[in-house]
Amino acid sequence: MRLTPEGEKLVQLLIGIVAFLAIVGGLLLLLDRGAELLASLGRRLRGGPAPIRVRAARRRPAREVWTALVFLAPAGLLLTVGLLVPMGRTVLLSLRDQFGTEWVGLENYGWMFTQDDILLVLRNTLLWVILAPLAVTAIGLVYAVLVDRARYEWFAKSLIFMPMAISFVGASIIWKFVYEFRPESSDQIGLLNQVLVWLNIAPQNWLVVRTGALNTLLLVVILVWIYVGFAMVVLSASIKAIPGEIVEAARIDGTSPWQMFWRITLPSIRPAVIVVVVTVSIATLKLFDIVRTMTGGNFGTSVVANEMFTQAFSQGQLGRGSSLAVILFLFVVPIALYQIRVMRQRREETR
């Protein structure tokens, strides 16, 4: 009897559920019985049973190791299949031609650093990584200080944090209406150009203006608008965690508000500032949605992630797209290593 397509999908779904339950049940059974089997095998290899106390002492470390391996194995498998294997394949593809069949060595990397358009992409990415985290952290910190313990604090924080609930594509569409341009003879629907008209200034096609990378800076504003709420929440929570005794002692000593901020508040919330900077930096390096929605990477606004997509999928250049992906990975690694180092230092300080 031949099943309908819907029936085949249902059978596949049932097989998947059964396989999942079998794997989970097998892991639980292995976790329950594995340590005992391992201890029994060890006793046989040593030539006889050990005393009760010795057996208990030996079984405990074996059980802990076995438990750790069982719990780490699924995550390690998923990490290998979902990250390490694709990463290795991407590196190999970056050394091949556009079809991924013939070896070309470092030719794709040479192309990357000799083409003016790609150098502009790298410059734009660097501009995003420098400006966006600094602007988000600075504005978020100002909001956190001003809103902290203010009247209607919860309402102000809700308004500032609200853009975080909007997707990058949704936020880009909103800001596209802000930057919208129409000829001078037509009514302006873009907020920014309408303000210029009220001031008797000619409207501008903002997303096309490349002078001083203005169009790229206007795209950075969108990311800043989205992430400022995140920075405010993290920094505000860190400010509230400053011991009241320290603040009170500084006030008794006659510390001015400016000195209080630079000598008490900022050093105390340094770990939170690092978290915000690192988080926004990594999000900036992976940025794709805003550029793709606003300009499609045209008019000199493309970044590495967008160019990687364009080369690999739009133009069919697998080698060049993979080389851009490798460069993007190399950009992220130092930031991640710095975050790991900071976390280790904090862990050692709290011991």
For the chain, the structural domain boundaries read 5-93, 108-350
CA atoms of 214 and 274, how far apart (whole Å)? 28
The angle, 0 to 180 degrees and rounded to 10, between the axes of the packed helices 318-350 and 85-93 is 140
Which residue has better confidence, 151 or 233? 233
Which of 39-48, 92-101, 148-157, 273-282 is most confident?
Answer: 273-282
Average pLDDT, integer, range 99-123: 88
Q: State the average pLDDT for the chain.
A: 81
pLDDT for position 249: 85
End-to-end CA distance of the chain: 67
Token pair for 347: 């862990």
CA atoms of 104 and 319, how far apart (whole Å)? 9
294-314 tens-digit pLDDT:
988 888 889 999 999 998 888
pLDDT for position 45: 56
Please state, for a pLDDT cut of 90, what percent of the chain lies above it.
19
- Which of 130-144, 227-241, 258-272 is least confident? 258-272
User: What is the number of other CB atoms lying within 10 angstroms of the CB of residue 128?
Assistant: 25
Tell me if 265 sits within 8 A of 256, measured CB to CB: no
pLDDT for position 271: 85
HSE of 186 in the Cβ direction (CA atoms, 13 Å)? Answer: 9
Tell me if 242 sits within 8 A of 268, measured CB to CB: yes
223, pLDDT greater than 90: yes
- pTM value? 0.75
50, pLDDT greater than 70: no
User: What is the number of other CB atoms lying within 10 angstroms of the CB of residue 36?
Assistant: 13
CA angle 144, 145, 146 (to 5 degrees): 95
54, pLDDT greater than 50: no
3-25 tens-digit pLDDT:
676 666 666 666 656 665 566 56
pLDDT for position 57: 47
Residue 347: exposure state from Cβ atoms within 10 A (0-12, 13-18, ≥19): exposed
313 three-state secondary structure: helix
Specify whether domain 108-350 bears CATH 1.10.3720.10: yes
pLDDT for position 138: 93
Average pLDDT, integer, range 20-31: 59
CA atoms of 329 and 292, how far apart (whole Å)? 20
Amino acid at 166: I
What is the residue whose two structure tokens read 């919330």? Answer: 269
CA atoms of 213 and 205, how far apart (whole Å)? 14
Which residue has better confidence, 152 or 320? 320
CA atoms of 132 and 137, how far apart (whole Å)? 8
269-279 tens-digit pLDDT:
888 898 899 98
Average pLDDT, integer, range 217-231: 93
**Sign of dihedral through CA atoms 38, 42, 48, 52?**
negative
Residues 6 or more apart whose CB falls under 8 angstroms from that of 217 comprise: 127, 131
Distance of CA 319 to the CA centre of its chain: 25
What's phi and psi for 302, nearest 5 deg? -65, 150
129-177 tens-digit pLDDT:
999 999 999 999 998 888 877 778 888 888 888 999 898 999 999 999 8
Tell me if 281 sits within 8 A of 133, measured CB to CB: yes
pLDDT for position 53: 47
96 three-state secondary structure: strand
CA atoms of 232 and 273, how far apart (whole Å)? 10
Tell me if 34 sits within 8 A of 66, measured CB to CB: yes
Transcribe 140-160 into DSSP letters. Answer: HHHHHHHHTT-TTHHHHHHHH
Residues 6 or more apart whose CB falls under 8 angstroms from that of 121 comprise: 302, 303, 304, 306, 307
- Which of 19-33, 81-95, 137-151, 317-331 is least confident? 19-33
pLDDT for position 227: 93
pLDDT for position 128: 93
* DSSP 8-class letter at 187: -
